Structure 1
Amino acid sequence: MNQIPGEFRTLDNKSLTPEEKHLLECQNQRMVSEHKANLLEIQAKKHWDLFYKRNETRFFRDRHWTTREFTELLDETNPQQERVLFEIGCGVGNFIYPLVKDELNLQIVACDLSPRAIEFVKSNPLYDPNKIKAFACDITTEEVFDNIQENSTDIITLIFVLSAIHPDKYTKTLQNIYKILKPGGVLLFRDYGLYDMAQLRFKAGHKIADNFYMRQDGTRSYFFSTESIKEIFERVGLKVVVNDYMHRRTVNKKENVDVPRIFVQVKAEKPV
């Protein structure tokens, strides 16, 4: 989404305060250089590998909310039929292993850009190569098809992953996803929403482009509007069924933290 400098759109139940508008304006005072931005793209795999080297399995919590938010994972209409789930950007397995513990009838395929993250997935005691296939790949390229066939998956999950990819590669990424989904298959998506707290907190020197930022560790994050994500999905032929802003709060009573969060949640289908 192209945004006019100095003009800030508002979301459902979210109006920017003068202070928040000022924070966004300050981000434009010093941008990431073109050379640095290109280097971040070239070294994306390296930065994520270093992230998992530093944090190992400690950074992200297991995602126990997924079956509540995405009831498609349960398939209560035909629980005896095994389905194929492909998680893109699996990290160390915080999404897939709660599903394994729930004993859902799923054949799981999982990939991540970071080979080190895949090592952690495979070292988990719950890893069963008869039920889980995990591999490292760049989902924005054709190499993903070395490990998974076209029209082979019932469900694909893209949870806080697309935001870490350069916007120029969104179309190619979604084209690959479209090819991998079976006709009638579903894509489940959640990611950072426009004007989320994390976006407002970026200082000058971290903005790469509109709504696209560099973190201190070299990883990157994009912040989506519902309009922009709908346009990206429909561009490759996906049918958007649900497309909402999710307003949540991050609460840590021990550290006296209570901040609002904004996510975008989408369910999209590959037409039959």
Structure 2
Amino acid sequence: MATVSTKTGQEVDRLTLDSMLRRRMFYTPSFEIYGGVSGLYDYGPPGTALIANMTDAWRKHFVLEEDMLEVDCTMLTPHEILKTSGHVDKFADWMCKDPKTGEIFRADHLVEEVLENRLKGDKEARGQKVEVDAEKEAKKKKKSKAAQAVKLDDALVKEYEETLAKIDNFDGPDLEEIIKKYNIRNPATDGEVQPPVAFNLMFQTSIGPSSNMPGYLRPETAQGQFLNFQKLLEYNQQAMPFASASIGKSFRNEISPPCWSVACA
């Protein structure tokens, strides 16, 4: 993770910065008085002003200076559209569950955490210096056991490193095989986890009072731009190339233990 620095180059502690931003109400956890929901945040007055300034600068550069065609499309999308695009079948992450605690994990992140923890313990056992991300380490301490200083076989270290380098390329069966092969367990309880299953990241809803038209909150803003391509081409008098731009919210039901979270972009 990149470090945060001041104009003079002085490094800023991420946890201190986060605390300051919340205290001054740049943003605050949503529904905090009811316990909150992981991943949901409200922007306060300074945060709202900052977003407005960023949006204004973005629009001036891309829409006005670069002459892009701006559109503002609906956030509701019928099932048929996202079925055709592949989102219904493939827009998913792989998750696994600890059957004893009920805790949910995103499978690739679980593999990453456990293997990185083991590699860290190997380096400590070898007397090597271990680089520590303060923010990441603080989060781990809340839910994971400390890395044990255990020296690993050189070949196993190489396997772990190769697995981590390719982690984004693995699907469910691949992750299941890795979890079994390396005995990946719940970092906090050391309990076994169930095989990964696909979890679609879109929020499903129904359009209209009859509930006969299933739909979703859009997972990305670009969908409306693709669907309006022909009309934008006609608006641009059939001239190519051209570019379109869109500002708005998209919704994803992210896997974030110990509860679900929402990513709104």
Q: Same fold (TM over 0.5)?
A: no
Q: Which has the larger radius of gyration?
A: 2
Which bracket does the TM-score occupy, shorter chain normalised? under 0.3
Give the TM-score normalised by the residue count of structure 2: 0.21
Give the TM-score normalised by the residue count of structure 1: 0.21
Higher normalized contact order (CA 8 Å, seq sep 6+, divided by chain length): 2
Higher strand share: 1
Higher helix share: 2
